[in-house]
Structure 1
Amino acid sequence: MTIDLYYTLGSPPCHLVDLVGAALGVKFNRKHVNLLLGEHLTPEFLKINPQHTLPTIVDDGYSLWDSRAISRYLIYKYGKDSNLYPEDAKARATIDQRVDFDLGTLYTRFEDYFYPQIFAEAPADEAKYKKLEEALKFLDNFLEGQKYAAGPDLTLADLVLVISVSSIEAAGIPITAYPNVVRWFELVKGKYGHVITPGAVILRNATTQLLKK
């Protein structure tokens, strides 16, 4: 069955689902949703996702939203032989910790610092920038002596985190002070740059246009 993917351009969570799909070889029937036109608030879309968030998938009549939930679902159903989310309890717990760190710390601090600047024309907040720097230092420490974010193999943790780091870089925030992050970022881009880079370019261009207003 074809999986319908409802997405919007320039959205890091939507880019994550694209990346997981690429890692699993899953193909999507892509359905663009224009937020500016309110297409996420139509009765038809609200029947699929009453929370009206993106990304959303519909797989053989089953609808699901939230990029991390979608990512795990895709791995459960289509990646049983994949190392992206192994069954070993300790390995899975480490992956979960990294994914939760991204959700609760890294990406959240990026949103808190950057999005008010582009959507509300707020000035840069130095205190929020320091918190983002702290989060990047945490990630740099996680990667010390590690090939990937959760150990020797590429996992869901890497796919989640690389989207956040690519978004941070696309926003013009330097990552050069974090050598482990830079090394790891280039490693993952070497595998999936064909998916990561276009999404980052869209975000960078959208950011540039918003900041010019």
Structure 2
Amino acid sequence: MTAPIKLYRNPKSGHCHRVELILAFLDLPYETIDVDMANGAHKASEFLKISPFGLVPAIDDGGYTLADSNAIITYLVLTYAKGSDWMPEEPKVAAEVQRWLTVAADNIYSGPCAARLVKVFGVTLDHEAAVAKAHDLFKVMETHLTRRDWLAADTITIADVAGYSYIAHAPEGGVDLNPYPNIRAWLDRIEAQPRFVEMAKSPIPELI
């Protein structure tokens, strides 16, 4: 790799942060390029060549471009850390990783992510329903993490990376994490990893 990987992002996006996390964890050289989405930069023709749906995150790795956060973290691990614990090859464990990537794209997106979109970005969504979905998810995760440290394997994997950002920042969407000590301990373990990088914080609203 002769040049840093370009990461096109919104610094307050959890989808973008999960990509930045794996770049940092793998100690890959990268540069961040903040896309001015408020002024429509994500819909400009040049950006659409990189991300056809006009979404962040997207990367440019030496001319290879890719959008979608879960696709990107999978690509990065298979390209630069294949055979590592980040994406186990044993079929049952690999399936567990895939299951939690699906949770990130579904339950996390429609729960804590959606609730945060309302409070941080003013997106018109059903906030009450999103908060309820977040708590439904967190109850399952809290039980799942009762006797294990990580979501899919005995060590941290991309499943944990995909789940971290929106759950860690759930309070910004009005979702209380205090009832979930196992989840909070899991977040602490991720934050204790070498080269961990934080996501930009937003004000936490009063919980109703």
| CA shift for structure 1 position 128 | 3.6
Instruction: Tell me the SS of whatever aligns to 1:101.
Output: helix
- Conserved? CA contact 2:96–2:152, under 8 Å: yes
TM-score by length of 1: 0.86
Alpha-carbon distance in 1 for matches of 2:109, 2:12: 15
Task: Report the AA paired with residue 22 of structure 1.
Answer: A
Q: Matches of 1:140 and 1:90 in 2, distance apart? A: 22
Asked whether the equivalents of residues 42 and 55 of structure 2 are also in contact (C-alpha less than 8 Å), the reply is: yes
Equivalent position amino acid for 1:108 in 2:
S
SS at match of 2:33: strand
Aligned mates of 1:121, 1:131 — CA distance in 2: 17
**Aligned pair partner of 1:183 in 182, 185, 204:** 185
- The answer to whether the Cα contact below 8 Å between 1:56 and 1:65 also exists between their aligned partners in 2 is yes
Match of 1:171 in 2: 173
Indicate the residue corresponding to 2:19 in structure 1: 17
When structure 1 is superposed on structure 2, of 71-80 and 99-108 the one drifting more is 99-108
List runs of 5+ in structure 2 lacking aligned partners: none
Aligned to 1:53: 55
**Residue number among 51, 61, 81 corresponding to 1:79 in the alignment:** 81
* Deviation (angstroms), 1:193: 7.8
> How do 1:119-158 residues align onto structure 2 when only pairs under 5 Å count?
119-120=121-122, 125-158=127-160
Contact kept, 8 Å, 1:15 with 1:163, in 2: the verdict is: yes
Q: Does 1:159 align with 2:161?
A: yes
2:202 corresponds, among 189, 201, 204, to 204
* AA in 2 matched with 1:204: S
Cα distance, 1:116 vs structure 2 = 3.2
Q: d(CA) in 2 for partners of 1:37 and 1:174?
A: 32
* Shift in alpha-carbon separation, 1:152–1:76, aligned structure 2, 3 A: same
CA drift of 1:33 comes to 1.0
Amino acid at match of 2:44: T
| Equivalent pair of 2:27/2:195 in contact (CA under 8 Å) | no
The TM-score with structure 2 as length reference comes to 0.87
Unaligned 5+ runs, structure 1 = none
- SS state of the match for residue 71, structure 1? helix
Distance 1:154 1:17 in 2: 15
For the Cα contact (< 8 Å) 1:95–1:157, is it kept in 2?
yes
Distance in structure 1 (CA, Å) of the matches to 2:149 and 2:108: 19
Could you say which structure has the higher helix fraction?
1
Would you say how many aligned residue pairs link Structure 1 and Structure 2? 204
**CA distance in 2 between partners of 1:52 and 1:122 (Å):** 19
Alignment RMSD (CA, Å): 2.3
Report whether the alignment pairs 1:69 with 2:55. Answer: no
Kindly state the Cα deviation for residue 130 of structure 1 after the two structures are TM-superposed: 2.2
**Is the aligned partner of 1:100 residue 2:98?**
no
Evaluate the alpha carbon distance shift between residue 117 and residue 188 of structure 1 in structure 2; reply closer, same or farther with a 3 A threshold: closer
Quick one: distance in 2 between partners of 1:125 and 1:42? 30
CA deviations 1:26-46 (Å, max 9, x no partner) are: 111222211112111222112
Q: Does structure 1 conserve the Cα–Cα contact (< 8 Å) formed by 2:19 and 2:72? A: yes
Residue 177 of structure 1 deviates from its aligned partner by 0.7
Quote the Cα distance in structure 2 between the aligned partners of 1:121 and 1:68. 23
C-alpha displacement at 1:167, in angstroms?
Answer: 1.9
Local SS of the residue matching 2:6: strand
